[in-house]
Structure 1
Amino acid sequence: MKLVNLGCGQKYHKDWINIDFFSSNEYVIQHNLLEGIPIEDNAIDVVYHSHVLEHFTKSDGFYFIEECYRVLNKNGIVRIAVPNLEIIVKEYLENLQLAIEGNVEAKNNYKWIKLELFDQMIRNESGGDMKNYLYQPIIENETYVYKRIGSEAKKIRDSFLNKSVINNYDNNEIKLKVSILKSLLKKVKTIIIKIRIGKQKKALTEQELKALKIGQFRLSGEIHQWMYDRYSLSELLREVGFTEIKVCNAFESEIQNWETYQLDVINGEVRKPDSLFIEAKKL
């Protein structure tokens, strides 16, 4: 079988074709996925990507799913994992009500789930308020946070407790996964040149430099640009042409020998428990 892992970061398997915006080693092909998937039509049995789609705009995401469909052969499977908007909203509403009623535990959980809902969409610097939350000396609802985002939170928290320096939020995953897109940075450089020419090469003001810094960050690939639930993602797959759309969990899959690859589950632990897992076929 030919299997492809898109936007893999450092979560790859040597038996797969692994593609990412930046290559971390010999097993990962470097390619800008905004420009499509560098594979011929009807050539792949399985396409997989985890927590990649939400980093694209809605329109770019549609094109990306079209590309997944194009490279799959007949009866090929696409497997997608994204943050589960439906569950985030349900958690928000439940903890909101309990917090209003005075439940102390719910008040802390409410603070965290609001960050899950908004922070990765609105942050203007790497890590945002989620990083600040995980860097607190004491996290009152640590168990809840770990339950929500699993090993991702543990890695960041352990680094803080061990006093190691982290310059970027989950640098080995999010920044490698979507990273600084070269095509977008070229546009930023063009804007800088135009600003300088327009001001007769006058030095940028402090406010202009701040705006430029924020703009560069928001084009870096770290932020979420769209969110999905089981209905909207199923509709997207259906619109592109996929059939037999099925919501599943991290352990179950139509992909042969799925458990051996340890992409969604590592040593029995779900890597991203906040995920919506969905599969579909090209018939």
Structure 2
Amino acid sequence: MLNIGCGSTFHEDWVNVDIYSTSEHVIEMDIRKGIAFEDSSFDVVYSSHVLEHMSKNAAEELVKEMMRVLKPGGILRLVVPDLEAIITNYTKFKGQLENSQDSLTEANYDWTMIELYDQVLRTKPGGMMIPFLLNPELPNKDFIIQRFGWEAERILKPISDVLKQINNLKETKEDLLIFGAGSFGIKVDAIFRNNAISCSAFIDNDESKWGQKLNGKPICSLERINEKSLIIVCSSWWKEVSIQLTNKGMIEGEDFIIFDKTISLSPSEVNSNSSLKEDKLIKVYQYINKELGEEYEAIFKEAVFRNSGEIHKWMYDAFSLSRLMQKSGISVSKVCMANESNIPNFEEYNLDILDGKVRKPDSLFMEGYKCN
């Protein structure tokens, strides 16, 4: 069984591939260049929320590759955002607002517009979704969780918890520091700015980063910390960092806060190539800023982001996805529920269902068999 573009959602009984590997159970593979397995190698091919990040033509080529490595009679299961569901919500909420305007319906309408456009047009990580979610008086939290399920809860809870802790400690802690001068720290810094919270510096254990700047803030060693400092740990290695800070006499919840404990990678699991690439990009940003200014730095960052794989390049409904599958050699395709599959014991693998909840309830789930 092959799981293509698995990210952090995989099962060790499957063959899992992604462009970067963060686990011994994930094979590093650039699927844009093809699937590096022999013809008819797998009984099942599964891919969730990958096709929409590719152009229409590139997605067609990828599905052809999926069919090539799938055995005759094998099962192809594809999961993508459901365009029809978004359009249905848009029409419903727009019609309701034309008859009677209320804040809840308006918030649902605004979120639906973000679902439709933001993931295509965004120019920074999280786009307009993160600022919307960070509204302390968010009126339609239940609707967003209904749409995005487990992932929405995973975003909302750590953000909400950390902001509350910062607010409770602001009288005794005046110097806010982010531990982790990487992509995780950059995203958290953006969250803080959206909430009018000022971070004064980044802390990092990597000596080569000391003295440089990130988002206009200095990157420092732990020597930067004083009794007025509150450290927000934004690292996949939060367990190791927590031990490091505790050994220096700091207390979790008083002197430091771990932003998200659901992410956990050991140093041996992190991809050294992606970390090296990230470090090189930071140096390029700094060079462009120095030579050409902030405007050109922003343009280059946007270009890098637009090609990072986060944005949506095409959308599918049941008709277009079924047509794509059948064009590639699927005999019969049908729409499924998240917990419905012809793949034996599919629910046990926790790919579309996690802890009894649909991982991505905004999705279209479709399965079919390869022609013999």
TM-score category (smaller protein): 0.7 to 0.9
Q: Structure 1 residue 238: deviation in Å? A: 1.3
Task: Tell me the equivalent position of 2:336.
Answer: 248
Q: Per the alignment, in what secondary structure is the counterpart of residue 278 of structure 1?
A: strand
Distance 1:55 1:92 in 2: 22
Counterpart check, 1:215 vs 2:303: yes
Letter paired with 1:151: W
Counterpart check, 1:146 vs 2:140: no
Residues 221-270 of structure 1 deviation map (CA, whole Å, 9 limit, x = unaligned) = 11111100000111111111111111111011111111111110112211
Task: Tell me the equivalent position of 1:93.
Answer: 91
Task: Tell me the equivalent position of 1:108.
Answer: 107
Q: Structure 1 residue 137: deviation in Å? A: 1.1
Q: How does the TM-score come out when normalised to structure 1?
A: 0.86
Distance 2:368 2:334 in 1: 6
Distance 1:168 1:229 in 2: 31
Task: Tell me the equivalent position of 1:123.
Answer: 122
Distance 1:253 1:271 in 2: 15
Matches for 1:6-155 after TM superposition, within 5 Å: 6-104=4-102, 105-155=104-154
Name structure 1 gaps, 5 residues minimum: 174-180, 197-201
Q: Per the alignment, in what secondary structure is the counterpart of residue 77 of structure 1?
A: strand
Q: Per the alignment, in what secondary structure is the counterpart of residue 48 of structure 1?
A: strand
Letter paired with 1:209: E
Distance 2:346 2:7 in 1: 19
Contact in 1 for aligned 2:97/2:106 (Cα 8 Å): yes
Contact in 2 for aligned 1:47/1:77 (Cα 8 Å): yes
Task: Tell me the equivalent position of 2:211.
Answer: none
Q: Structure 1 residue 205: deviation in Å? A: 4.6
Q: Per the alignment, in what secondary structure is the counterpart of residue 98 of structure 1?
A: helix
Task: Tell me the equivalent position of 2:222.
Answer: none
Name structure 2 gaps, 5 residues minimum: 164-177, 179-183, 189-234, 237-261, 263-272
Residues 186-209 of structure 1 deviation map (CA, whole Å, 9 limit, x = unaligned) = xxx9xx9xxx9xxxxx93354333
Poorly superposed stretches of 4+, deviation over 2 Å: 164-169, 202-210
Letter paired with 2:151: E
Distance 2:370 2:101 in 1: 48
Task: Tell me the equivalent position of 1:269.
Answer: 357
Which sits farther off after the overlay, 218-227 or 238-247?
A: 238-247
Letter paired with 2:344: Q
Counterpart check, 1:156 vs 2:244: no
Q: Per the alignment, in what secondary structure is the counterpart of residue 85 of structure 2?
A: helix
Distance 1:103 1:79 in 2: 41
Contact in 2 for aligned 1:56/1:224 (Cα 8 Å): yes
Letter paired with 1:239: K
Contact in 1 for aligned 2:3/2:17 (Cα 8 Å): yes
Q: Structure 1 residue 69: deviation in Å? A: 0.3
Contact in 2 for aligned 1:98/1:107 (Cα 8 Å): no
Contact in 2 for aligned 1:43/1:73 (Cα 8 Å): yes
Task: Tell me the equivalent position of 2:324.
Answer: 236
Matches for 1:147-226 after TM superposition, within 5 Å: 147-163=146-162, 167-168=186-187, 203-226=291-314
Q: Per the alignment, in what secondary structure is the counterpart of residue 139 of structure 1?
A: coil
Contact in 1 for aligned 2:326/2:332 (Cα 8 Å): no
Distance 2:98 2:298 in 1: 38
Q: Structure 1 residue 68: deviation in Å? A: 0.5
Instruction: Give aligned-pair identity as a percent.
Output: 40
Larger Rg: 2
Contact in 1 for aligned 2:37/2:69 (Cα 8 Å): yes
Q: Per the alignment, in what secondary structure is the counterpart of residue 79 of structure 1?
A: strand
Q: Per the alignment, in what secondary structure is the counterpart of residue 140 of structure 1?
A: coil
Distance 1:103 1:276 in 2: 30
Counterpart check, 1:5 vs 2:93: no
Contact in 2 for aligned 1:85/1:227 (Cα 8 Å): yes
Distance 1:217 1:43 in 2: 34
Task: Tell me the equivalent position of 1:178.
Answer: none
Q: Structure 1 residue 168: deviation in Å? A: 4.0
Q: Per the alignment, in what secondary structure is the counterpart of residue 217 of structure 1?
A: helix
Q: Per the alignment, in what secondary structure is the counterpart of residue 234 of structure 1?
A: helix
Residues 143-201 of structure 1 deviation map (CA, whole Å, 9 limit, x = unaligned) = 101001101111111111121775449x999xxxxxxx99xx9xxx9xx9xxx9xxxxx
Letter paired with 1:34: R
Distance 2:323 2:40 in 1: 22
